[in-house]
Amino acid sequence: MKDFRAGEVLLINKPLTWTSFQVVNKMKYLIKHHPSLVLDGKRVQPKIGHAGTLDPLATGLLIVCTGKQTKNIEKYQAQEKEYTGTFYIGATTPCYDLEKEIDAHYPTDHITDELIHETTKQFIGKIQQTPPLYSAIKIDGKRAYDIARAGQTAEIKPKEIEITVFEITRIALPEVDFRVVCSKGTYIRSLARDFGLALKSGAHLTALCRTRIGDYKLSDAMSIEEFENSLKS
């Protein structure tokens, strides 16, 4: 039997359009009557949190910690991540993904398969990357996405990240599929923007799935429905 008060590390496959916060809230609701939460005849509410936010339009592995395991969240967040997804070449959006409508189109006639593969090499290793304005980064105490949604702009300083694998797995222009292995703090949406610029065009992210965090794999994760059913068995 699981012991949510003592601490569990749960691997969840985040559904499309759900926020990471919604996943945590749903799981908190599902476990609130679990027998492990009774202490001296009284029901307690354990701490619960996730290790590494996924955007609503991303799917894949979300590590959710309960109880004493929440102390290890930073350790899980710091681990290497692996993603697969799709870039759309030749158009951009303000948020670098499908949350906003396309705001500009760019030429793609000059883009060849060879150029696409060659361009990935520019992003291997330690590089400087500027996070999207539509992100949870704080600027003077405000979330960047709140500033963006208010129609304002702000300067976001670039930071160092590391990409160890940037592999193109399918080319069917305007779509390009990829696999990326990277450090904590890497924004794949920003990689889409920068990749488009490096191609002397534009690009945005149309699909993203996190497949691994450290040694934890998406193939071992449960859906929300499977987690709910596991509580009944």
In a domain, 4, yes or no: no
Mean pLDDT throughout 1-19?
92
In a domain, 25, yes or no: yes
Mean pLDDT throughout 55-63?
96
Distance, CA of 164 to CA of 99 (rounded, Å): 28
Identify the three-state secondary structure at position 61.
Answer: strand
Which among 3, 40, 55, 215 is annotated as catalytic? 55
Residues 204 and 136 in one domain: yes
Percentage of the chain beyond pLDDT 70 is 93
Q: How many CB atoms are closer than 10 A to CB 31?
A: 22
pLDDT of residue 233: 67
In a domain, 3, yes or no: no
Alpha helices in the chain (DSSP H): 20-31, 73-77, 113-120, 144-149, 188-198, 224-232
Distances (CA, A) of 39 to 7, 42, 43, 219, 231: 14, 5, 6, 34, 19
> Tokens for 63?
């590590």
Active site residue 55: yes
pLDDT of residue 217: 98
pLDDT of residue 40: 63
In a domain, 1, yes or no: no
Residues 175 and 196 in one domain: yes
pTM for this structure?
0.91
In a domain, 2, yes or no: no
Q: Cβ distance 180 to 163 under 8 Å? A: yes
Does 173 have pLDDT greater than 90?
yes
* pLDDT digit string, tens, across residues 76-106: 999 999 999 999 999 999 989 998 999 999 9
Mean pLDDT throughout 44-72?
93
Structural domain boundaries, residue 30: 9-78+216-232
- Which is more confident, 15 or 232? 15
Residues 195 and 85 in one domain: yes
Of 1-5, 20-24, 185-189, 226-230, the range with the lowest mean pLDDT is: 1-5
Q: What is the CATH number of the domain that holds 193?
A: 3.30.2350.10
Residues 17 and 114 in one domain: no
Give the distance, in angstroms, between the CA of residue 3 and the centroid of all CA atoms in the same chain.
Answer: 28
The total domain count for the chain is 2
Residues 120 and 28 in one domain: no
Banded pLDDT at 42 (limits 50, 70, 90): confident
